[in-house]
Amino acid sequence: MSLPPCFPHHPGADPSGLAQIAARLASGPVLALRQAGNGGNSRLYRVETETGPCALKLYPPRGIGGPDRLGHERAALSFLHTHGAAVPRLLGSDPDADAALLEWIDGVRPTANVLGPPLTAMIAFLERLHGLRHASGAAELPQAVEACPSAAELLRQIEVRRPRLAQVAEAPGNGGLARLLGEALTPAFARLRTRLDTLYDRAGLAPDRTVPLHGLTLSPSDFGLHNALCRPDGTIVFLDFEYFGWDDPVKLVADTLWHPGMQLSGDGRGRFLTAAEAIYGTDPAFPVRLAAQVGFFGLRWCLIVLSDFLPERWAHRVHAGAGGSWEDAKRIQMAKAEALLDRVVHILDVDPMDWPAAFNSAGND
């Protein structure tokens, strides 16, 4: 059986070792194994066994202080499957090999720009998750990776990402990055900070105040139809819970709206936001926190997509199976970041509490 290379220094980097991991987790012989896809972080293989196909997922080895993607996904799938959510079954895992064996889902990616069943399934899934926050086992679930339980933490995460990008902006061929950071992102950050302080002062909120437990929700973190498959019977199964855990629903909603892979139409964004307000609006501070922070999440996503300018990040993507040249990737990511920044500025030019109409009319339609 011919296998593609895996992560260097990964326990499954040797093809025979990869097959052994799959066989051990499947508790039986592997009849065939082929790469089925990859994301920015993990690799996926289709494993043929005597009892049917399975999915072998290889997570990147944990760096010093890096997230335990396998641990978060294992906790999420075990909990959600117990409570009947539409997620793949976890069949086995091997933390030493950074690997998990999952139920194979036959399906196709749902279309994002529709107002029908896919969007309805998204909303129903979030409503289900929010309802499960009091369920057995929920209290033992971890905090989401890169959770933002306060505005101060959101600002800190943005500030942490900026210096390294500023460093590489000085490298030859990266002049556009320096201009974007200095002439567009920095002024937008300052305007957003003024807006946040004003809204928080009016509402009697403090940026460093952590949202209390009753205001948190269970969040997939990387949520949307880009991480879902539609089965032939129309059932939509949600995937990828590597960052799953407790978080402020403001981050969940804002990330879903801003995610470059989740390009809902303006009407779709409006429907999603209306539903989110119904799910999380029992917390009277939710609309204010969202209005004050939503632009910052746009900036945060700008910095995330620009991380491909970092040599270490690009090397990681190559190891995970990314194709194409680095220069092409940087051009693509620069265009995404510029589009995101344009939308941030667009919502800055309206009254803070009127941001949804401006957001829904800008881009991706």
pLDDT in the model for residue 356:
92
Q: Domain 15-103 - what CATH class?
A: alpha beta
* Backbone φ and ψ of 122, nearest 5°: -55, -50
Distance, CA of 319 to chain centre: 20
Domain with CATH 3.30.200.20 in the chain: 15-103
Q: Which one of 3.20.20.70, 3.90.1200.10, 1.10.10.60, 2.40.40.20 gives the CATH number of domain 117-360? A: 3.90.1200.10
Please report, rounded to a whole number, the percentage of residues in the chain having pLDDT higher than 90: 73
Structure confidence at residue 7 as a pLDDT band (50, 70, 90): very low
pLDDT in the model for residue 290:
97
| Average pLDDT estimate for 45-57 | 95
pLDDT for 206-216, tens place per residue? 999 999 999 99
Residue in the structure block whose two tokens are 């939710």: 286
Structure confidence at residue 1 as a pLDDT band (50, 70, 90): very low
HSE on the CB side for 358, CA within 13 Å? Answer: 17
58-62, 167-171, 211-215: segment of lowest average pLDDT: 58-62
pLDDT in the model for residue 68:
93
Domain with CATH 3.90.1200.10 in the chain: 117-360
